[in-house]
Structure 1
Amino acid sequence: MDLSVQFRPRSAPHIGAVPPSVFAPQVRLRVLDAPGLGENPRSDETYLRSYREHLPGCDAILWVLAARSRAMALDQHYLTELADFRERMVFGVNQVDAVEPAEWRRASNRPSPRQESNIGEILADRTVRLTDIVGPDPTVIGYSSRHGYRLDQLFQALLTVCPSRRQWMFAGLKNFSHRDFGVDRVRPIDRKDAL
Protein backbone atom coordinates (compact mmCIF):
# COMPACT_ATOMS: atom_id res chain seq x y z
CA MET A 1 0.00 0.00 0.00
CA ASP A 2 1.04 3.58 -0.48
CA LEU A 3 0.79 6.10 2.35
CA SER A 4 0.65 9.74 1.39
CA VAL A 5 1.28 12.66 3.70
CA GLN A 6 0.69 16.25 2.70
CA PHE A 7 2.94 18.66 4.59
CA ARG A 8 0.90 21.64 5.69
CA PRO A 9 2.96 24.21 7.57
CA ARG A 10 1.15 25.75 10.54
CA SER A 11 1.25 29.14 8.84
CA ALA A 12 1.49 28.44 5.13
CA PRO A 13 3.07 31.42 3.40
CA HIS A 14 1.19 33.13 0.62
CA ILE A 15 3.52 34.86 -1.80
CA GLY A 16 1.71 36.61 -4.62
CA ALA A 17 0.09 34.14 -7.00
CA VAL A 18 2.04 31.14 -5.64
CA PRO A 19 -0.49 28.63 -4.26
CA PRO A 20 0.05 27.33 -0.70
CA SER A 21 0.40 23.77 -2.09
CA VAL A 22 3.88 24.73 -3.36
CA PHE A 23 4.91 25.01 0.28
CA ALA A 24 3.13 21.80 1.24
CA PRO A 25 4.96 18.98 -0.53
CA GLN A 26 3.51 15.52 -0.55
CA VAL A 27 5.58 12.54 0.61
CA ARG A 28 4.75 9.04 -0.51
CA LEU A 29 5.81 5.97 1.43
CA ARG A 30 5.43 2.51 -0.01
CA VAL A 31 4.71 -0.21 2.50
CA LEU A 32 5.21 -3.80 1.43
CA ASP A 33 3.43 -6.31 3.61
CA ALA A 34 5.44 -9.46 3.08
CA PRO A 35 3.90 -12.92 3.36
CA GLY A 36 4.45 -14.66 6.64
CA LEU A 37 7.23 -17.16 6.91
CA GLY A 38 6.40 -20.32 8.81
CA GLU A 39 2.78 -20.52 7.68
CA ASN A 40 3.55 -23.35 5.27
CA PRO A 41 7.00 -25.00 5.20
CA ARG A 42 6.66 -25.73 1.47
CA SER A 43 6.27 -22.01 0.73
CA ASP A 44 9.10 -20.78 2.95
CA GLU A 45 11.88 -21.12 0.36
CA THR A 46 9.77 -19.21 -2.18
CA TYR A 47 9.12 -16.50 0.41
CA LEU A 48 12.81 -16.29 1.36
CA ARG A 49 13.73 -15.95 -2.31
CA SER A 50 11.20 -13.13 -2.64
CA TYR A 51 12.55 -11.45 0.51
CA ARG A 52 16.12 -11.61 -0.82
CA GLU A 53 14.91 -10.10 -4.11
CA HIS A 54 12.89 -7.21 -2.61
CA LEU A 55 14.63 -6.33 0.68
CA PRO A 56 17.65 -4.67 -1.00
CA GLY A 57 15.27 -1.96 -2.26
CA CYS A 58 13.79 -1.29 1.19
CA ASP A 59 14.96 1.65 3.28
CA ALA A 60 13.67 0.12 6.52
CA ILE A 61 12.44 -3.33 7.50
CA LEU A 62 9.97 -3.99 10.31
CA TRP A 63 10.05 -7.54 11.68
CA VAL A 64 6.99 -8.09 13.88
CA LEU A 65 7.03 -10.47 16.85
CA ALA A 66 4.09 -11.30 19.12
CA ALA A 67 4.46 -10.22 22.74
CA ARG A 68 2.58 -13.20 24.15
CA SER A 69 4.51 -15.90 22.31
CA ARG A 70 7.96 -16.98 23.46
CA ALA A 71 8.40 -19.12 20.35
CA MET A 72 11.17 -17.56 18.29
CA ALA A 73 12.96 -20.54 16.77
CA LEU A 74 11.47 -19.96 13.30
CA ASP A 75 12.16 -16.22 13.47
CA GLN A 76 15.75 -16.92 14.50
CA HIS A 77 16.15 -19.37 11.61
CA TYR A 78 14.76 -16.92 9.03
CA LEU A 79 16.76 -14.02 10.43
CA THR A 80 19.91 -16.09 10.00
CA GLU A 81 18.94 -16.46 6.34
CA LEU A 82 18.34 -12.69 6.03
CA ALA A 83 21.28 -11.48 8.12
CA ASP A 84 22.54 -9.23 5.31
CA PHE A 85 19.66 -6.84 6.00
CA ARG A 86 20.02 -6.60 9.79
CA GLU A 87 21.26 -3.00 9.77
CA ARG A 88 17.92 -1.83 8.35
CA MET A 89 15.77 -3.97 10.67
CA VAL A 90 13.60 -2.80 13.52
CA PHE A 91 11.92 -5.44 15.65
CA GLY A 92 8.42 -4.59 16.76
CA VAL A 93 6.89 -6.60 19.59
CA ASN A 94 3.15 -6.18 19.02
CA GLN A 95 0.18 -6.68 21.33
CA VAL A 96 1.85 -5.51 24.52
CA ASP A 97 -1.64 -4.50 25.70
CA ALA A 98 -2.48 -8.22 26.01
CA VAL A 99 0.49 -9.05 28.26
CA GLU A 100 -0.56 -10.34 31.68
CA PRO A 101 -2.00 -9.13 33.97
CA ALA A 102 -3.76 -7.29 31.09
CA GLU A 103 -4.45 -4.20 33.17
CA TRP A 104 -4.34 -1.63 30.41
CA ARG A 105 -5.09 1.86 31.65
CA ARG A 106 -7.33 3.30 28.97
CA ALA A 107 -7.49 6.82 30.44
CA SER A 108 -3.71 7.28 30.15
CA ASN A 109 -3.26 4.69 27.35
CA ARG A 110 -0.53 2.93 29.28
CA PRO A 111 0.07 -0.44 30.88
CA SER A 112 -0.31 -0.79 34.62
CA PRO A 113 2.98 -0.89 36.58
CA ARG A 114 2.79 -4.72 36.87
CA GLN A 115 2.00 -5.08 33.18
CA GLU A 116 4.78 -2.66 32.27
CA SER A 117 7.24 -4.72 34.31
CA ASN A 118 6.21 -7.87 32.44
CA ILE A 119 6.49 -6.06 29.11
CA GLY A 120 10.01 -4.98 30.08
CA GLU A 121 10.95 -8.61 30.79
CA ILE A 122 9.56 -9.70 27.42
CA LEU A 123 11.48 -6.99 25.57
CA ALA A 124 14.70 -7.89 27.42
CA ASP A 125 14.20 -11.56 26.51
CA ARG A 126 13.58 -10.77 22.82
CA THR A 127 16.60 -8.45 22.73
CA VAL A 128 18.91 -11.18 24.08
CA ARG A 129 17.59 -13.74 21.62
CA LEU A 130 17.82 -11.38 18.68
CA THR A 131 21.35 -10.33 19.67
CA ASP A 132 22.43 -13.96 19.27
CA ILE A 133 21.30 -13.84 15.63
CA VAL A 134 21.60 -10.27 14.31
CA GLY A 135 24.39 -8.94 16.49
CA PRO A 136 24.59 -6.37 19.27
CA ASP A 137 22.02 -3.69 20.00
CA PRO A 138 19.02 -4.69 17.89
CA THR A 139 16.26 -2.07 17.94
CA VAL A 140 13.36 -3.70 19.78
CA ILE A 141 10.19 -1.69 20.41
CA GLY A 142 7.15 -2.97 22.27
CA TYR A 143 3.91 -1.47 20.97
CA SER A 144 0.17 -1.90 20.68
CA SER A 145 -1.33 -1.23 17.28
CA ARG A 146 -4.78 -1.57 18.86
CA HIS A 147 -4.22 1.36 21.21
CA GLY A 148 -1.65 3.31 19.18
CA TYR A 149 0.80 2.84 22.06
CA ARG A 150 4.43 3.58 21.13
CA LEU A 151 3.67 3.62 17.40
CA ASP A 152 5.40 6.98 17.19
CA GLN A 153 8.59 5.45 18.66
CA LEU A 154 8.32 2.52 16.27
CA PHE A 155 7.95 4.88 13.32
CA GLN A 156 10.90 6.98 14.54
CA ALA A 157 13.04 3.84 14.84
CA LEU A 158 12.18 2.91 11.24
CA LEU A 159 13.22 6.36 10.04
CA THR A 160 16.46 6.09 11.99
CA VAL A 161 17.59 2.85 10.29
CA CYS A 162 17.11 4.25 6.78
CA PRO A 163 20.36 4.56 4.85
CA SER A 164 21.99 7.93 5.53
CA ARG A 165 21.95 8.85 1.84
CA ARG A 166 18.13 8.66 1.92
CA GLN A 167 17.31 9.95 5.42
CA TRP A 168 16.88 13.50 4.14
CA MET A 169 13.68 12.40 2.40
CA PHE A 170 12.13 11.44 5.72
CA ALA A 171 13.36 14.38 7.80
CA GLY A 172 9.97 16.08 7.56
CA LEU A 173 8.23 12.99 8.93
CA LYS A 174 10.20 12.75 12.16
CA ASN A 175 7.68 14.76 14.16
CA PHE A 176 4.62 13.09 12.73
CA SER A 177 2.24 11.01 14.80
CA HIS A 178 0.73 7.69 13.76
CA ARG A 179 -2.56 9.61 13.70
CA ASP A 180 -1.27 11.58 10.70
CA PHE A 181 -1.56 8.43 8.60
CA GLY A 182 -5.32 8.02 8.71
CA VAL A 183 -7.26 5.42 6.79
CA ASP A 184 -8.39 8.09 4.35
CA ARG A 185 -4.75 8.49 3.30
CA VAL A 186 -4.10 4.82 2.55
CA ARG A 187 -4.36 3.58 -1.01
CA PRO A 188 -3.80 -0.09 -1.84
CA ILE A 189 -1.39 -0.90 -4.66
CA ASP A 190 -1.50 -3.79 -7.08
CA ARG A 191 -0.42 -7.11 -5.60
CA LYS A 192 2.11 -7.48 -8.42
CA ASP A 193 3.99 -4.54 -6.87
CA ALA A 194 4.11 -6.21 -3.46
CA LEU A 195 6.30 -9.11 -2.39
Structure 2
Amino acid sequence: MKKSEGLQSLQRSLSGLPQWASERILKQINQLTHYEPVIGIMGKTGAGKSSLCNALFASEVSPVSDVAACTREPLRFSLQVGERCMTLVDLPGVGENGTRDAEYAALYRQQFPRLDLVLWLIKADDRALAVDEHFYRHVIGESYRHKVLFVISQADKVEPTSGGNKLSTEQKQNISRKICLLHELFQPVHPVCTVSTRLQWGLRVMAERMIRCLPREATSPVAAQLSAPLRSDAVNKKACDDFGETVGSVLDTVSSMPLLPAPIRAIIQAVRNTVVSVARAVWSFFF
Protein backbone atom coordinates (compact mmCIF):
# COMPACT_ATOMS: atom_id res chain seq x y z
CA MET A 1 0.00 0.00 0.00
CA LYS A 2 2.76 2.43 0.94
CA LYS A 3 4.52 1.83 -2.38
CA SER A 4 1.43 2.82 -4.37
CA GLU A 5 1.09 5.92 -2.17
CA GLY A 6 4.70 6.81 -2.94
CA LEU A 7 4.12 6.45 -6.68
CA GLN A 8 0.97 8.58 -6.43
CA SER A 9 2.95 11.33 -4.67
CA LEU A 10 5.55 11.26 -7.43
CA GLN A 11 2.80 11.25 -10.05
CA ARG A 12 1.28 14.40 -8.52
CA SER A 13 4.66 16.15 -8.63
CA LEU A 14 4.76 15.42 -12.39
CA SER A 15 1.20 16.56 -13.06
CA GLY A 16 2.31 19.59 -15.09
CA LEU A 17 3.90 17.36 -17.74
CA PRO A 18 2.23 15.76 -20.79
CA GLN A 19 0.91 12.30 -19.95
CA TRP A 20 3.48 10.47 -22.12
CA ALA A 21 6.37 12.21 -20.34
CA SER A 22 4.93 11.62 -16.88
CA GLU A 23 4.32 7.93 -17.65
CA ARG A 24 7.81 7.48 -19.06
CA ILE A 25 9.43 9.03 -15.98
CA LEU A 26 7.24 7.04 -13.56
CA LYS A 27 8.03 3.80 -15.40
CA GLN A 28 11.78 4.42 -15.03
CA ILE A 29 11.40 5.37 -11.35
CA ASN A 30 9.43 2.16 -10.78
CA GLN A 31 12.27 0.19 -12.40
CA LEU A 32 14.69 1.88 -9.98
CA THR A 33 12.67 0.61 -7.01
CA HIS A 34 12.97 -2.94 -8.39
CA TYR A 35 16.73 -2.81 -9.03
CA GLU A 36 18.40 -6.09 -7.99
CA PRO A 37 22.02 -5.51 -6.92
CA VAL A 38 24.75 -8.06 -7.61
CA ILE A 39 27.66 -8.16 -5.15
CA GLY A 40 30.74 -10.32 -5.61
CA ILE A 41 32.54 -11.77 -2.62
CA MET A 42 36.01 -13.25 -2.91
CA GLY A 43 38.68 -14.59 -0.63
CA LYS A 44 40.75 -17.67 0.01
CA THR A 45 39.27 -20.77 1.64
CA GLY A 46 38.59 -20.07 5.30
CA ALA A 47 38.40 -16.29 4.89
CA GLY A 48 34.91 -16.36 6.41
CA LYS A 49 32.77 -15.40 3.42
CA SER A 50 29.66 -17.26 4.59
CA SER A 51 29.83 -16.00 8.18
CA LEU A 52 30.29 -12.40 6.97
CA CYS A 53 27.27 -12.64 4.65
CA ASN A 54 25.17 -14.11 7.45
CA ALA A 55 26.26 -11.28 9.77
CA LEU A 56 25.60 -8.50 7.23
CA PHE A 57 22.31 -9.50 5.68
CA ALA A 58 18.87 -10.12 7.10
CA SER A 59 17.91 -13.14 5.01
CA GLU A 60 19.41 -16.58 4.59
CA VAL A 61 21.49 -17.06 1.47
CA SER A 62 20.18 -19.72 -0.89
CA PRO A 63 21.96 -21.14 -3.97
CA VAL A 64 20.50 -19.94 -7.27
CA SER A 65 21.65 -23.07 -9.08
CA ASP A 66 23.69 -26.19 -8.40
CA VAL A 67 27.09 -25.75 -9.97
CA ALA A 68 29.29 -28.81 -10.24
CA ALA A 69 32.68 -28.40 -8.63
CA CYS A 70 34.41 -29.28 -11.91
CA THR A 71 33.01 -26.19 -13.63
CA ARG A 72 34.73 -22.85 -13.10
CA GLU A 73 31.52 -20.86 -12.90
CA PRO A 74 31.17 -18.83 -9.70
CA LEU A 75 28.41 -19.85 -7.31
CA ARG A 76 25.45 -17.48 -7.21
CA PHE A 77 23.26 -17.02 -4.15
CA SER A 78 19.98 -15.18 -3.77
CA LEU A 79 18.93 -13.01 -0.84
CA GLN A 80 15.30 -12.03 -0.45
CA VAL A 81 13.57 -9.65 1.96
CA GLY A 82 9.87 -9.45 1.16
CA GLU A 83 9.64 -8.90 -2.60
CA ARG A 84 13.15 -7.46 -2.78
CA CYS A 85 16.00 -9.61 -4.15
CA MET A 86 19.76 -9.36 -4.32
CA THR A 87 22.42 -11.71 -5.68
CA LEU A 88 25.76 -12.65 -4.15
CA VAL A 89 28.41 -14.08 -6.48
CA ASP A 90 30.98 -16.25 -4.73
CA LEU A 91 34.19 -15.78 -6.72
CA PRO A 92 37.01 -18.33 -6.30
CA GLY A 93 39.92 -17.21 -4.18
CA VAL A 94 43.15 -16.56 -6.06
CA GLY A 95 46.55 -17.99 -5.18
CA GLU A 96 45.34 -21.37 -3.93
CA ASN A 97 45.80 -23.20 -7.19
CA GLY A 98 48.45 -21.81 -9.53
CA THR A 99 47.29 -23.89 -12.50
CA ARG A 100 43.84 -22.36 -12.29
CA ASP A 101 44.78 -18.74 -11.66
CA ALA A 102 44.97 -18.00 -15.41
CA GLU A 103 41.50 -19.51 -15.78
CA TYR A 104 40.27 -17.45 -12.84
CA ALA A 105 41.72 -14.31 -14.43
CA ALA A 106 39.46 -14.82 -17.46
CA LEU A 107 36.50 -15.49 -15.16
CA TYR A 108 37.13 -12.29 -13.18
CA ARG A 109 37.39 -10.19 -16.33
CA GLN A 110 34.06 -11.63 -17.43
CA GLN A 111 32.33 -11.13 -14.08
CA PHE A 112 33.53 -7.70 -12.93
CA PRO A 113 31.52 -5.59 -15.42
CA ARG A 114 28.31 -7.25 -14.12
CA LEU A 115 28.96 -6.57 -10.43
CA ASP A 116 27.93 -3.51 -8.42
CA LEU A 117 30.62 -4.14 -5.79
CA VAL A 118 33.18 -6.78 -4.81
CA LEU A 119 33.99 -7.55 -1.18
CA TRP A 120 37.59 -8.81 -1.24
CA LEU A 121 38.21 -10.68 2.02
CA ILE A 122 41.75 -11.09 3.33
CA LYS A 123 42.23 -13.05 6.54
CA ALA A 124 43.79 -11.00 9.29
CA ASP A 125 46.56 -13.58 9.73
CA ASP A 126 47.22 -14.10 5.98
CA ARG A 127 50.70 -12.93 5.02
CA ALA A 128 50.85 -14.50 1.53
CA LEU A 129 49.46 -11.58 -0.47
CA ALA A 130 51.72 -11.54 -3.54
CA VAL A 131 49.17 -13.30 -5.76
CA ASP A 132 46.35 -11.06 -4.50
CA GLU A 133 48.46 -8.01 -5.33
CA HIS A 134 49.24 -9.37 -8.82
CA PHE A 135 45.56 -10.05 -9.51
CA TYR A 136 44.52 -6.65 -8.29
CA ARG A 137 47.07 -4.82 -10.44
CA HIS A 138 46.98 -6.90 -13.62
CA VAL A 139 43.57 -8.57 -13.72
CA ILE A 140 41.27 -6.08 -11.99
CA GLY A 141 43.29 -3.18 -13.39
CA GLU A 142 42.33 0.49 -13.36
CA SER A 143 38.86 -0.07 -14.84
CA TYR A 144 37.24 -1.82 -11.88
CA ARG A 145 39.27 -0.81 -8.80
CA HIS A 146 36.43 1.47 -7.71
CA LYS A 147 34.26 -1.65 -7.35
CA VAL A 148 36.56 -3.34 -4.80
CA LEU A 149 36.12 -2.98 -1.05
CA PHE A 150 38.92 -4.75 0.85
CA VAL A 151 37.83 -6.41 4.10
CA ILE A 152 40.27 -7.76 6.69
CA SER A 153 38.28 -10.66 8.12
CA GLN A 154 38.61 -12.59 11.38
CA ALA A 155 40.22 -9.66 13.19
CA ASP A 156 40.10 -11.67 16.43
CA LYS A 157 42.78 -13.99 14.98
CA VAL A 158 45.35 -11.20 14.84
CA GLU A 159 48.25 -11.83 17.23
CA PRO A 160 48.35 -11.90 20.19
CA THR A 161 45.17 -14.02 20.23
CA SER A 162 43.38 -14.61 23.50
CA GLY A 163 40.03 -16.09 22.50
CA GLY A 164 38.36 -13.44 24.64
CA ASN A 165 35.24 -11.41 23.96
CA LYS A 166 36.98 -8.26 22.81
CA LEU A 167 40.09 -7.20 20.94
CA SER A 168 43.12 -6.27 23.01
CA THR A 169 45.02 -3.00 22.58
CA GLU A 170 47.90 -4.95 21.03
CA GLN A 171 45.56 -6.63 18.53
CA LYS A 172 44.10 -3.26 17.53
CA GLN A 173 47.60 -1.90 16.99
CA ASN A 174 48.47 -4.89 14.79
CA ILE A 175 45.21 -4.46 12.87
CA SER A 176 46.19 -0.83 12.19
CA ARG A 177 49.52 -2.06 10.82
CA LYS A 178 47.70 -4.59 8.61
CA ILE A 179 45.44 -1.82 7.25
CA CYS A 180 48.53 0.30 6.45
CA LEU A 181 50.14 -2.68 4.71
CA LEU A 182 47.06 -3.24 2.52
CA HIS A 183 46.95 0.44 1.62
CA GLU A 184 50.63 0.25 0.60
CA LEU A 185 50.23 -2.96 -1.41
CA PHE A 186 46.95 -2.27 -3.17
CA GLN A 187 46.47 1.51 -3.00
CA PRO A 188 42.71 0.88 -2.85
CA VAL A 189 40.11 3.42 -3.91
CA HIS A 190 38.09 2.88 -0.72
CA PRO A 191 39.21 2.65 2.94
CA VAL A 192 39.98 -0.89 4.11
CA CYS A 193 37.39 -2.42 6.46
CA THR A 194 38.18 -4.74 9.37
CA VAL A 195 35.65 -7.13 10.91
CA SER A 196 35.28 -9.98 13.35
CA THR A 197 32.00 -11.81 12.93
CA ARG A 198 32.72 -13.88 16.06
CA LEU A 199 32.87 -10.70 18.14
CA GLN A 200 30.34 -8.80 15.97
CA TRP A 201 33.05 -6.14 15.66
CA GLY A 202 33.42 -3.64 12.80
CA LEU A 203 30.23 -4.69 11.01
CA ARG A 204 28.42 -1.37 11.39
CA VAL A 205 31.36 0.61 9.99
CA MET A 206 31.66 -1.89 7.15
CA ALA A 207 27.94 -1.61 6.28
CA GLU A 208 28.23 2.18 6.08
CA ARG A 209 31.35 1.99 3.90
CA MET A 210 29.74 -0.61 1.66
CA ILE A 211 26.74 1.66 1.06
CA ARG A 212 29.10 4.55 0.22
CA CYS A 213 30.98 2.39 -2.33
CA LEU A 214 27.92 1.18 -4.25
CA PRO A 215 26.56 2.86 -7.37
CA ARG A 216 23.58 5.11 -6.56
CA GLU A 217 20.92 2.80 -7.97
CA ALA A 218 22.13 -0.07 -5.74
CA THR A 219 22.36 1.65 -2.34
CA SER A 220 18.67 1.51 -1.38
CA PRO A 221 18.11 -2.13 -2.44
CA VAL A 222 21.25 -3.22 -0.55
CA ALA A 223 20.32 -1.16 2.53
CA ALA A 224 16.96 -2.98 2.54
CA GLN A 225 18.84 -6.31 2.72
CA LEU A 226 21.03 -5.38 5.69
CA SER A 227 20.27 -6.86 9.09
CA ALA A 228 18.34 -4.39 11.26
CA PRO A 229 21.21 -3.37 13.61
CA LEU A 230 23.31 -2.34 10.58
CA ARG A 231 20.68 -0.06 9.03
CA SER A 232 22.05 3.00 10.77
CA ASP A 233 20.91 6.58 10.23
CA ALA A 234 24.00 7.11 8.06
CA VAL A 235 23.11 4.10 5.88
CA ASN A 236 19.50 5.23 5.47
CA LYS A 237 20.45 8.85 4.74
CA LYS A 238 22.95 7.86 2.04
CA ALA A 239 20.45 5.47 0.44
CA CYS A 240 17.66 8.07 0.57
CA ASP A 241 19.87 10.80 -0.93
CA ASP A 242 21.06 8.46 -3.68
CA PHE A 243 17.47 7.52 -4.54
CA GLY A 244 16.65 11.21 -4.91
CA GLU A 245 19.68 11.73 -7.16
CA THR A 246 18.83 8.73 -9.36
CA VAL A 247 15.27 10.06 -9.75
CA GLY A 248 16.79 13.41 -10.71
CA SER A 249 18.94 11.61 -13.31
CA VAL A 250 15.80 10.06 -14.79
CA LEU A 251 14.33 13.53 -15.33
CA ASP A 252 17.63 14.77 -16.78
CA THR A 253 17.67 11.88 -19.27
CA VAL A 254 14.12 12.58 -20.44
CA SER A 255 14.70 16.35 -20.66
CA SER A 256 17.78 15.79 -22.84
CA MET A 257 15.91 13.63 -25.38
CA PRO A 258 16.55 14.82 -28.93
CA LEU A 259 13.64 16.57 -30.64
CA LEU A 260 11.91 17.20 -27.29
CA PRO A 261 9.88 20.43 -27.60
CA ALA A 262 11.52 23.29 -25.70
CA PRO A 263 8.42 24.08 -23.56
CA ILE A 264 8.27 20.48 -22.27
CA ARG A 265 12.02 20.50 -21.56
CA ALA A 266 11.54 23.72 -19.58
CA ILE A 267 8.71 22.19 -17.51
CA ILE A 268 10.78 19.07 -16.68
CA GLN A 269 13.70 21.23 -15.59
CA ALA A 270 11.40 23.46 -13.54
CA VAL A 271 9.87 20.56 -11.56
CA ARG A 272 13.14 18.57 -11.16
CA ASN A 273 14.05 19.75 -7.66
CA THR A 274 10.47 19.29 -6.42
CA VAL A 275 10.33 15.72 -7.78
CA VAL A 276 13.70 14.91 -6.16
CA SER A 277 12.43 16.27 -2.81
CA VAL A 278 9.26 14.19 -3.08
CA ALA A 279 11.33 11.09 -3.94
CA ARG A 280 13.38 11.56 -0.76
CA ALA A 281 10.23 12.15 1.28
CA VAL A 282 8.61 8.88 0.10
CA TRP A 283 11.84 6.82 0.05
CA SER A 284 10.78 4.76 3.07
CA PHE A 285 7.56 3.81 1.23
CA PHE A 286 9.67 1.88 -1.27
CA PHE A 287 12.55 0.65 0.90
Q: TM-score, normalised by structure 1?
A: 0.69
77, 81, 99: which one aligns with 1:42 = 99
Unaligned runs of 5+ in 2: 1-76, 232-287
71, 89, 94: which one aligns with 2:128 = 71
Letter in 1 for 2:140: L
Q: Which residue of 1 aligns with 2:146?
A: 87
Q: Which residue of 2 aligns with 1:124?
A: 180
| Counterpart mapping for 1:130-145 below 5 A | 130-131=186-187, 134=188, 137-145=189-197
Q: Which residue of 1 aligns with 2:255?
A: none
CA distances 1:47-83 after superposition (whole Å, capped 9, x unpaired): 1111111111111101111211222111110001212
Runs of 4 or more above 6 Å deviation? none
CA distances 1:26-46 after superposition (whole Å, capped 9, x unpaired): 322211111111121121111
Task: Note closer, same or farther for the CA distance 1:68–1:173 as it changes in structure 2 (3 Å cut).
Answer: same
Residue 61 (structure 1) aligned with residue 114 (structure 2): no
157, 163, 182: which one aligns with 1:98 = 157
Residue 3 (structure 1) aligned with residue 79 (structure 2): yes
CA distances 1:78-105 after superposition (whole Å, capped 9, x unpaired): 0012122110110001111011111354
Are the aligned partners of 2:152 and 2:195 in contact in 1 as well (CA < 8 Å)?
Answer: yes
Of Structure 1 and Structure 2, the greater helix share is in: 2
Aligned-pair Cα RMSD in Å: 2.3
Task: Note closer, same or farther for the CA distance 1:173–1:160 as it changes in structure 2 (3 Å cut).
Answer: farther
Distance 2:229 2:117 in 1: 18
**Cα distance, 1:175 vs. partner?**
7.6
Letter in 2 for 1:130: F
Distance 2:175 2:163 in 1: 12
Distance 2:124 2:103 in 1: 27
**Cα distance, 1:171 vs. partner?**
4.6
Identity of matched residues, %: 26
SS where residue 47 of structure 1 aligns?
helix
Distance 1:68 1:44 in 2: 22
Task: Note closer, same or farther for the CA distance 1:171–1:95 as it changes in structure 2 (3 Å cut).
Answer: closer
Q: Which residue of 1 aligns with 2:68?
A: none
Distance 1:122 1:167 in 2: 28
Letter in 2 for 1:64: L
SS where residue 39 of structure 1 aligns?
coil
Are the aligned partners of 1:130 and 1:138 in contact in 2 as well (CA < 8 Å)?
Answer: no
SS where residue 56 of structure 1 aligns?
helix
Are the aligned partners of 1:156 and 1:174 in contact in 2 as well (CA < 8 Å)?
Answer: no
Q: Which residue of 1 aligns with 2:12?
A: none
Are the aligned partners of 1:152 and 1:178 in contact in 2 as well (CA < 8 Å)?
Answer: yes
Task: Note closer, same or farther for the CA distance 1:175–1:3 as it changes in structure 2 (3 Å cut).
Answer: closer
Are the aligned partners of 1:89 and 1:139 in contact in 2 as well (CA < 8 Å)?
Answer: no
Q: Which residue of 2 aligns with 1:21?
A: none
Unaligned runs of 5+ in 1: 7-25, 180-195
Larger radius of gyration: 2
SS where residue 91 of structure 2 aligns?
coil
Task: Note closer, same or farther for the CA distance 1:176–1:130 as it changes in structure 2 (3 Å cut).
Answer: farther
SS where residue 29 of structure 1 aligns?
strand
Distance 1:66 1:101 in 2: 15
Are the aligned partners of 1:88 and 1:161 in contact in 2 as well (CA < 8 Å)?
Answer: yes
Residue 146 (structure 1) aligned with residue 187 (structure 2): no
Letter in 1 for 2:193: I
